[in-house]
Structure 1
């Protein structure tokens, strides 16, 4: 069906069409087997296989064997954008040099895992650095609120009394700038 008729079709028709599309994998022709007799029952039933059938089957089995040169890596079939090429070039060179030592699988696994692991650890380090050296103060409201637990109180210890402006001052009372302004104005 084409055009506006697709809106008028029934749900079961649309479902059948979508299942067929999925089976065909986007092609308008369904997949087919290139094996001469794909089912075992075809080979065994009746008169069995003729000499011509055996020759076709032998040829089909021989065609399934891969060449020693396969699978082939063709870089042009997997293009990468300029950012990935620039980012990946040092890793390609490094693991290309390691390939004779660790083998193809080891070099490919290292090429995949090492850059991602380093980026993950670098991200954790950057996050930790930001939390440690960019604390929220009374001057800037840009960082995260980090609230720590109180000290453990055993028995009947009493905390020293706090003034009304001691709560969440974010370093305001320990500032050095403009401290003398209040005393000189009075």
Structure 2
């Protein structure tokens, strides 16, 4: 959901938000309003306040469940490292976990879902011939494949 929930944002600073506008001249009412507005921008010492019931109402149960392990890690690291650094570690741990899970899923897919003669789908993985330059052993590279080996998709290797 957008930060303003679809409502166009409104600047409450008004005309005096720009330094150029303030230099043009301000009335006493504008000065008092700006003074009060600047005072209101200072947070209380206990800000921001984390209200558990408010957070629980705004997040669904599935999000709370999958966030729970890293939230426990965050709460354990906060007294030791501080809130900011613990939040950074929580973020990095989550992203590295997702990247590792993606790598494992990709490995599984290529290991068990290859394109062979038994199924129609799957990605084809071709190996290119090795690079053999003049002067290296086996220079005029000749493939060991026979004419009926091409496009067999592993049919000749099957135990049937």
- 2:26 aligns with 42
Structure 2-normalised TM-score?
0.68
- 1:180 aligns with none
Which moves more between the two structures, 92-101 or 56-65?
56-65
- 1:168 aligns with 151
2:114 to 132, 135, 157: 135
What is the root-mean-square deviation in Å for CA atoms of aligned residues?
3.6
User: In structure 2, how many angstroms separate the alpha carbons of the residues matched to 1:154 and 1:59?
Assistant: 78
- 2:62 aligns with 83
Where in structure 1 are there 5+ consecutive unaligned residues? Answer: 1-21, 44-48, 178-186
Task: Show the 5 A alignment for 1:1-186.
Answer: 25=8, 31=12, 33=14, 39-40=22-23, 41-42=25-26, 56=32, 60=36, 62-75=39-52, 76-77=54-55, 79-155=58-134, 157=140, 159=142, 162-177=145-160
- Judged with a 3 Å threshold, the aligned counterparts in structure 2 of structure 1 residues 118 and 58 are, in CA distance, closer, same or farther, namely closer
Which has the higher relative contact order, 1 or 2, with Cα contacts under 8 A spaced 6 or more apart? 2
Which of these two proteins has the greater Rg computed from alpha carbons? 1
Structure 1-normalised TM-score?
0.59
